[in-house]
Structure 1
Amino acid sequence: MDFVLKEEKGFSYIEEGQGEPLLLLHGLMGALSNWDDVIREFSPNYRVIIPVLPIYDLPLLTTGVRALSKFVHKFIKFKQLNNVVLLGNSLGGHVGLVYVLAHPGYVKALVLTGSSGLYENAFGGSFPRRESIDFVREKVQYTFYDPKTATEDMVEEIFHTINDRHKVIRILAMAKSAIRHNMKNELRKITMPVSLIWGKDDKITPPEVAIEFNELLPNSELHWVDKCGHAPMMEQPAEFNKYLKLFLDKIKK
């Protein structure tokens, strides 16, 4: 990743470009680099901002989607943002949904891709022995339509993460929080424009999840990305960016 990570007032984030803010939220096992192609495509015309979500830094008792939503609100106030277009992948989408219900005045529109919040096949309720990198490789490949998208660097990074006891306890707590926090009964309250950009071959949040989101969110549109798993912005970035641009053009004042 060739973007500069800024450290300021306890926040770590990438910020590129000028214009309307696009705030990007990564997933549970995701990294800021997951959004590289979105930054490159949209930073010439938008202010693209990606905060590091403090998944490993929250007190264990408060580790959950609500705590991450509160963190996002602190970050938005710190950066003095308004009229935000919020984009979330996987857990990041779930956090975005919780956030817009609590603070709709700050957000203009929402983009969800592979979002949790209704149903997801989690990474796993437990992890195998430290030396089982093959298990990790298999799980990371499962995230994508094309297993080759799961680079060895990505596998190594996740392997080291889940072999850190402090981190893995919080990953499991966050995953359980996401499963418990089902949003089916709250989605009709979200009336802002929502774009669902979904991998047709997503095995983590399968296509029926996207269809249910589309049915429950009153002002939503659904776009399918073929030959694509749980992270369209990584696996099929050109297609993802095409649908994102169409949506951003549509919601311009």
Structure 2
Amino acid sequence: MNLNIQKQGAYRFIDEGEGETLMMLHGLFGALSNWEGVIENFKSNYRVLIPLMPIHDMPIKEAGCEGLTVFIEGFVKELQLKELTLVGNSLGGHVALIYTLKHPDLVKRLVLTGSSGLFEDSMGGSYPKRGNYEFIKERVEYTFYDPKTASKELVDEVFEITNSIPKVLRIIAIAKSAQRNNMAKDIVNITTPTLLIWGLNDTITPPHVGHEFNKLIPNSELHFIDKCCHAPMMERPKEFNKILSTWLGKTKI
């Protein structure tokens, strides 16, 4: 799929389809391409928006969950969005949680998949090693149930990122921010209908994390996908889309 990246103001993003807005937020090592299967499935009935978050080039002092939330606030304001269905994977889920708590009037529905915010084992418990391709390949494969899902293109992309000292510094700052920012006491206040889609074999945010989110967020529903790790929308797009589509239909207002 050819992704058409648009630009408006300071923001770059995917904008496909028309209708209710589904806004996807990618993770720390994520990219717009992570959502290709979701875009293709939903763009005929929804407006699918995916902002490219400035993880690698935001000011180092702002590199963290709060800084990324401010970025999303600016994006929503720039595009004059409302009645959002926010869909966040990994770090994107963490940002979606903070944004939802700050702007419950703008978020109609919340979807979390492998979200940080309670516990995560980032990069398999270690920070990225520069210049070691095999290590990076192993760490990228660690995020998938089937290591073959980690294409050479994906591994090359992460390798390129980790070879840049400024990018690595930002990644480490954001990862530490996410680990510090435990949201257990806050998310009990989320009343927005929430869908949790978790890989049953998630090594980064294991299944117990999905159960904990389900227990703490009052109006939440949890689904597991078998033979699936940390990025269900990439590894099991058909199952992910089916669960999401059914739930969107149930929660339509």
1:127 aligns with 2:137: no
Give the 5 Å matches for 1:33-182.
33-123=33-123, 124-130=125-131, 132-182=132-182
Please give the alpha-carbon distance, in whole angstroms, between the structure 1 residues aligned to 2:184 and 2:8: 36
Aligned length: 252
Shift of 1:85: 0.2
CA RMSD across the alignment: 0.9
Does the aligned pair in 2 maintain the 1:28–1:171 contact within 8 Å?
yes
- The residue type equivalent to 1:126 in the other structure is Y
State the Cα distance separating 1:129 from its structure 2 match: 4.4
Unaligned runs of 5+ in 1: none
- The alignment status of 1:193 with 2:193, answered yes or no, reads yes
The residue type equivalent to 1:164 in the other structure is S
TM-fit CA distance, 1:35:
0.2
1:85-134 deviation per Cα after TM superposition (whole angstroms, max 9, x unaligned): 0000000000000000111111001000000000000115433341x100
Give the match for residue 222 of structure 1. 222
**Partner Cα distance (2:129, 2:173) in 1:** 17
In structure 2, C-alpha distance between the alignment counterparts of 1:122 and 1:226, rounded to whole Å: 21
One-letter identity of the residue aligned with 1:127: P
TM-score (normalised: structure 1) = 0.98
Measure the CA separation in 1 of the matches of 2:219 and 2:23: 20
1:145-184 per-position Cα deviation (integer Å, ceiling 9, x unaligned): 0000000110011001001011000000000000000000
Preserved CA contact (<8 Å) 2:94 2:115 = yes
1:202-232 per-residue CA deviation (whole Å, 9 max, x = no partner) reads 0000000000000000000000101000000
How many angstroms apart in 2 are the aligned matches of 1:127 and 1:94?
Answer: 21
Q: Does the 8 Å CA contact 1:56/1:171 hold for their aligned counterparts? A: yes
Q: 1:129, 1:204 → 2: CA distance?
A: 21
Q: Does the 8 Å CA contact 2:130/2:162 hold for their aligned counterparts?
A: no
Partner Cα separation in structure 2 for residue 105 and residue 129 of structure 1: 43
Query: How far apart, in 2, do the equivalents of 1:129 and 1:197 lie?
Result: 32
1:209 equivalenced with 2:228 (yes/no): no
- Indicate conservation of the 8 Å contact 1:27/1:89, yes or no: yes
Equivalent-residue separation in structure 2 for 1:58 and 1:177 (angstroms): 14
Question: Any conservation in 2 of the 1:26–1:89 contact (CA below 8 Å)?
Answer: yes
TM-score by length of 2: 0.98
Counterpart CA distance in 1 for 2:65 and 2:216 is 20
- Please say if residues 109 and 192 of structure 1, whose CA atoms lie closer than 8 Å, have aligned partners that are also in contact: yes
d(CA) in 2 for partners of 1:118 and 1:65? 13
Q: Is the 8 A contact 1:125 1:172 kept in 2?
A: no
